[in-house]
Structure 1
Amino acid sequence: MTDIRQLSTYCGIAAPIMSVGAVTLATILAPPETFTWAERSLSSMGRYGAPTFPLFNGGLIASGLLGSPFVWRLWIASRNTVERVGIVLLAITVVGMIGVGVFFLDHNELYLDTSLHGLAALTVFGVAPFASWVYATGATLAKDALLAITSFWLGIVHLLGWLGWLVLPGGGFDTWLWFAVPEFVASVAFGGWVLILAVVTLRREEHGSSEPAAVDL
């Protein structure tokens, strides 16, 4: 019988599939006047009035809420303090993702005087790689080399995506062209990391294997 821990792990598998799937589908369905890879951010698909408004924002909110139980599952399975710090950063990223959907682009024209969209987006893209790196450090202390390496390099993917955007022809902060590309790369890297964490956790649950040795700091 599936217990609450396994159910929470399944949530960790479903959440990134939902978020990346919703964003990807939105890029396919969005008309050129509301989104193009070269000229718009991903958040343009969530602007009020855009045809993809419910799909983009709803997908982010639903996946964030769905992923929240998995954050709890990781916490109770954590092996040291450093891993727990990484999980806290993961939780902040998930809250930021929900915030991107709730505080969609130009939401201040409908409610609230101050736009919180930029802060929510910065929380996601700014905190996510550090969550990966800190968790990787904790996994290293727990002698879980494969998970540590995977977590570390998926965090690097975030950095490479943004650095690549800065050197793209026409890209960079002066024009904001191709901004959706590093956003999508970061989204896939974050979703992939969460998915890997969930799959590893599920396999350990199913096989009843013991966790690698903990090193509590």
Structure 2
Amino acid sequence: MADRRSVATYCGFAGAIVSLGAIVLATIVAPSETFTWQRRALSDMGRYGAPTFLLFNGGLIVGGLIGLPFAWRLWIESRNALERIGTVLLAVAVAGMIGVGVFFLDHTTLYLERNLHGFAALTVFGVPPFAGWIYGTGAALASDGRLAIVSFWFGIVHPLVWLGWLLSLSESTDTGTWFAVPEFIAALALGGWIASLALTIYRRHDSELDVSGR
């Protein structure tokens, strides 16, 4: 039977699949008046009263809660201070994803006077690149070149996609145009990085645990 370390590794895969799966499914079933790639943000699918309210927000919350144990697994496998800092930042990003679901758009109509959705979203999109670069630097110092490169490139995706979106806008273009596209690519980058980290940990340690049964 897999021990809690292996279970925590599987949580990395499962958390990414659940959260990204919920987002993709929500984009498919959302009516056009609620969401379109050209005119809406992803969070509009989680707006209070939207048909995809439970699917979108529930997927982010459940996916984030499932994924958090993987941060513990990554922490105990960290080989230096930089990898540990990167792990903490990764946990912050996952917590921010949970926050996006908890503090959905228009949550102030139900609870809290202060709108915390923007802060949660900024955490999800702003923290991951720094997490990747710092963790990647730690991996490089640990002579793990492959993991360093993977972490760096997943981190670079975030600023590149947002820069590309900004450059695509003209003076007459609404700043909300195609906003969901860089959001989705950034979400894919975060989920892809977490899955790659989980696969690395699995190959490094947990595959041996599964074979031995200990």
TM-score range, shorter chain: over 0.9
Shift in Å, 1:173: 9.0
Q: Equivalent residue for 2:17?
A: 17
Q: Equivalent residue for 1:205?
A: 205
Q: Equivalent residue for 1:196?
A: 196
Residue 145 (1) aligns with residue 145 (2): yes
Q: Equivalent residue for 1:168?
A: 168
Q: Equivalent residue for 2:104?
A: 104
TM-score (structure 1 length as normaliser): 0.93
Q: Equivalent residue for 2:28?
A: 28
Alignment of 1:119-138 (within 5 A): 119-138=119-138
Counterparts of 1:101 and 1:203, CA distance in 2: 32
Q: Equivalent residue for 2:186?
A: 186
Report the AA paired with residue 137 of structure 2.
T
Shift in Å, 1:203: 1.2
8 A Cα contact 2:45 2:52, kept in partner: yes
Counterparts of 1:171 and 1:58, CA distance in 2: 37
What SS does the corresponding residue of 2:127 show, helix, strand or coil?
helix
Counterparts of 1:53 and 1:148, CA distance in 2: 37
Aligned residues: CA RMSD: 1.6
8 A Cα contact 1:165 1:171, kept in partner: no
Counterparts of 1:200 and 1:170, CA distance in 2: 42
Counterparts of 1:108 and 1:155, CA distance in 2: 33
Q: Give % identity.
A: 64
Aligned CA distance change for structure 1 residues 18 and 173 (closer, same or farther; 3 Å):
farther
Residue 53 (1) aligns with residue 53 (2): yes
Q: Equivalent residue for 1:81?
A: 81
8 A Cα contact 1:136 1:151, kept in partner: yes
Shift in Å, 1:204: 1.4
What SS does the corresponding residue of 2:33 show, helix, strand or coil?
coil
Aligned CA distance change for structure 1 residues 55 and 36 (closer, same or farther; 3 Å):
same
Aligned CA distance change for structure 1 residues 173 and 112 (closer, same or farther; 3 Å):
farther
User: What are the superposed Cα offsets for residues 19-41 of structure 1, whole Å, 9 maximum, x if unpaired?
Assistant: 11110110111000000011110
What SS does the corresponding residue of 1:72 show, helix, strand or coil?
helix
Aligned CA distance change for structure 1 residues 205 and 145 (closer, same or farther; 3 Å):
same
8 A Cα contact 2:169 2:175, kept in partner: no
Counterparts of 2:125 and 2:56, CA distance in 1: 17
8 A Cα contact 2:64 2:98, kept in partner: yes
Aligned CA distance change for structure 1 residues 21 and 108 (closer, same or farther; 3 Å):
same
User: What are the superposed Cα offsets for residues 154-198 of structure 1, whole Å, 9 maximum, x if unpaired?
Assistant: 111111110111022459996221110100010000000000000
Report the AA paired with residue 165 of structure 2.
W
Report the AA paired with residue 43 of structure 2.
S
